[in-house]
Amino acid sequence: MKERLLIVDDSSVMRRTIEKNLADYDLEIIGQAANGVEAVQMVMEQKPDVVTLDITMPEMDGIACLEEIMKINPNTKVMIITALADKLTGLIALDKGARGFMYKPVNADDLAKAFDKLLKRDGE
């Protein structure tokens, strides 16, 4: 069964980039959210298996959003994708339950590798 992915990023360009780069990857993208509040709503409704999550977002930032997602379903695999160079925030995200981490900008190869690890696939 394909894992179901939710993309969360306040930049539509970034969301499209992630979506485009994952086009060939064996995943079902079930939706996109432009901020934390929207993301929490969608997680609650659609219960995605995987979430890519930006950290700097309006309304509710990535860390708060991650906490909410973990409350809803602690098994959700969250991949942080951020441009933020601050490592402490990244480590806090791992503390809160994120299992993947990537810096922007992203490309298809890096995304595939990171998702292989996150989803424990052997990587084709």
Binding interface with other proteins (CB under 8 A): 87-88, 90-92, 94-95, 99-103, 114, 117
Q: How far is the CB of 44 from other proteins (least distance, A)?
A: 25
Q: How far apart are CA 76 and CA 94, in angstroms?
A: 13
Say if residues 116 and 123 touch (Cβ distance below 8 Å): yes
| Residues with Cβ within 8 Å of residue 84, at least 6 apart in sequence | 55, 56, 90
When the beta carbons of 30 and 35 are compared against other proteins, the nearer one is: 35
Q: How far is the CB of 100 from other proteins (least distance, A)?
A: 6
When the beta carbons of 72 and 91 are compared against other proteins, the nearer one is: 91
Q: With residue 79 as reference, give the H or E element that holds it.
A: strand 77-82
Q: How far apart are CA 63 and CA 56, in angstroms?
A: 9
When the beta carbons of 46 and 121 are compared against other proteins, the nearer one is: 121
When the beta carbons of 37 and 94 are compared against other proteins, the nearer one is: 94
Q: How far is the CB of 3 from other proteins (least distance, A)?
A: 17
State the amino acid at position 22 in one-letter form. Answer: L
